[in-house]
Amino acid sequence: MTSLFETVAPRPLAEALRPERIEDVIGQAHLMAPDRPIGRMVASGRLSSMIFWGPPGTGKTTLARILAARSGMAFEQISAVMSGMADLKKALARAQGLRQQGQTKGMVLFVDEIHRWNKAQQDALLPYVEDGTIVLIGATTENPSFELNRALASRAQVMVLERLATHDLSILLERAEAHLGHTLPLEAEARTELLNMADGDGRYLLVMAEALSDLGPDAAVTPEQLHTLVQRKAHAGDKGSDIHHALLSAFQKSIRGSDVQAALYWLARLLRSGEPPRAILRRLMVMATEEVGLADPRAIEQAAACAAVFERIGEPEGLPALAQCVGYLATAIKSNAIYKAFYTAMDLAEAHGSIMPPKHLVNAPTALMKAQGFKDGYRYDHDFPHAFSGQPFFPDILSGPDRPEIYRPNARGYERDILKRLAWWDQRREN
């Protein structure tokens, strides 16, 4: 009971609209349809431990609460960010108490941001999950394969929640307007832009709707005005997060696959997510050798030149230099032959240890070395036709008919010419 002098704070719109029935949950049909994993659990009335993996604002907490209520189980929620081992032990003790009191349906323990817990904290859950004291539902925005220890991950199904589609967000916005008792004063284009600004996050959409709810009904907000009233949700892609690595992977694979349109899109996504331009330029220089190589030797020159231009000009004028480099690399003829050759050579050097070069390749600056036969028999290639002597350059153990073929050029781009030269030299070497 509140006193006469206390004011009850109004509930945020996102909390007021939190669904209480499974039928009211928006999105995630791939999990909740009758023939899908959660749909089957709801139909049977039996829950198993699971991990909800998905971006913010997709209904992880809401779904956990509804499933517990639907199954007649107690619900306990703790945050891995705010709670430690002591809080976990208290929650587990409450679960044991319920079981001892004969409440056989047990407890759902919902751990938000479960990836924040260390191995010891995660391991503490194992015996209680094993004996059925709790049904664990964990929520995470990070890949459970990397963030959860193997023992816990093997005892829980991973349910992947998807960002809300525009259609889902539109339904959510209509519910918000019904709750507020009026439509938001947005032009049609501004309404569409508001849905885009939410970036699949239902909670953030409701936060923005609440910020706009006190505008007069005749405001008729334009898209330009909308951006001054509310802020677009920051793009996902923090360094170290799954989306960060996913964006980088898509970026490099698009360049490797010679899809310049997609490569430029992923470049924009990386920049929008806050990826430092210098980090992108570093990766582009790596790709110039790893993906293009000697099929187009100018690729590495372009990458270095674009990096120099960006360093000279800075942001934002220097950013198109990144696009130029992406365009060049994505449309260049590709070969990873020299890249593979490098690692083949490294393996060969490791396998054969510290073999001395053949004596004829080693200079003899002292009388002793001359007496030992160093430099004897060396042939100065420029003194021979076509500047080619055909003498051996590998150590003796690797010379002869079984000399290694470390570099195998592909028959495309500039490497076609290299391939012809190698064949020409090999023929004369045999002769």
326-335 pLDDT tens trace: 999 999 999 9
- How much of the chain, in percent, has pLDDT values that exceed 90? 61
Contact 113, 80 (CB under 8 A): yes
Judge whether residue 53 has pLDDT over 80.
yes
Q: Which residue has the higher pLDDT, 102 or 117?
A: 117
92-123 burial, b at 16+ Cβ within 10 Å, e below that, comes to: beebeebbeeeeebbbbbbbbbbbbbeeebbe
Judge whether residue 198 has pLDDT over 60.
yes
Contact 277, 177 (CB under 8 A): no
Q: Which residue has the higher pLDDT, 370 or 5?
A: 370
- pLDDT given for residue 83 in this prediction: 87
- pLDDT given for residue 242 in this prediction: 62
Which of these ranges, 146-150, 247-251, 408-412, has the smallest mean pLDDT?
A: 146-150
Closest CA to 170 of 188, 152, 158, 156: 188
303-355 tens-digit pLDDT: 999 999 999 998 889 999 999 999 999 999 999 999 999 999 999 998 888 88
Confidence of residue 8 (pLDDT cuts 50, 70, 90): low
Judge whether residue 221 has pLDDT over 50.
yes
Class of domain 27-158: alpha beta
DSSP tag of 292: I
| Average pLDDT of the segment spanning 249-273 | 94
Burial of 259 (0-12, 13-18, 19+ CB in 10 A): middle
Judge whether residue 101 has pLDDT over 70.
yes
Judge whether residue 170 has pLDDT over 60.
yes
- The chain-wide mean pLDDT, for the chain, equals 89
Contact 384, 350 (CB under 8 A): no
- pLDDT given for residue 175 in this prediction: 95
Which of these ranges, 43-57, 106-120, 157-171, 235-249, has the smallest mean pLDDT?
A: 235-249
Residue 152's alpha-carbon distances to 99, 114, 131, in angstroms, are 22, 11, 14
Confidence of residue 236 (pLDDT cuts 50, 70, 90): low
Closest CA to 195 of 214, 219, 220, 223: 223
Sheet holding 107-112, edge to edge: 74-79, 107-112, 134-140, 50-53, 157-160
- How much of the chain, in percent, has pLDDT values that exceed 70? 95
CA distance 369 to 367: 5
Contact 107, 75 (CB under 8 A): yes
Confidence of residue 378 (pLDDT cuts 50, 70, 90): very high
Confidence of residue 234 (pLDDT cuts 50, 70, 90): low
| Average pLDDT of the segment spanning 156-184 | 93
Which of these ranges, 173-187, 235-249, 379-393, has the smallest mean pLDDT?
A: 235-249
Confidence of residue 128 (pLDDT cuts 50, 70, 90): very high
Judge whether residue 2 has pLDDT over 60.
no
- pLDDT given for residue 45 in this prediction: 85
Judge whether residue 366 has pLDDT over 60.
yes
24-37 tens-digit pLDDT: 999 999 999 999 99
Judge whether residue 241 has pLDDT over 80.
no
Residue 312: in which H helix or E strand, if any?
Answer: helix 298-313
We find that the CATH architecture of domain 240-334 is Up-down Bundle (1.20)
Judge whether residue 399 has pLDDT over 90.
no
Taking each continuous run of H as one helix and of E as one strand, the counts in the chain are 20, 5
Judge whether residue 235 has pLDDT over 70.
no
Contact 48, 135 (CB under 8 A): yes
| Average pLDDT of the segment spanning 185-212 | 92
Domain ranges of the chain: 27-158, 164-233, 240-334, 356-428
Token pair of 422 as six digits: 């190698």
The one-letter code for the residue type at 346 is: M
- Out of 1.10.8, 3.30.930, 1.20.120, 3.30.190, the CATH code matching 164-233 is 1.10.8
63-85 tens-digit pLDDT: 999 999 999 899 999 999 888 88
Q: Concatenate the DSSP letters of all residues of 224-245 into one string.
A: HHHHHHS-PPPPS--TTSHHHH
Confidence of residue 99 (pLDDT cuts 50, 70, 90): confident
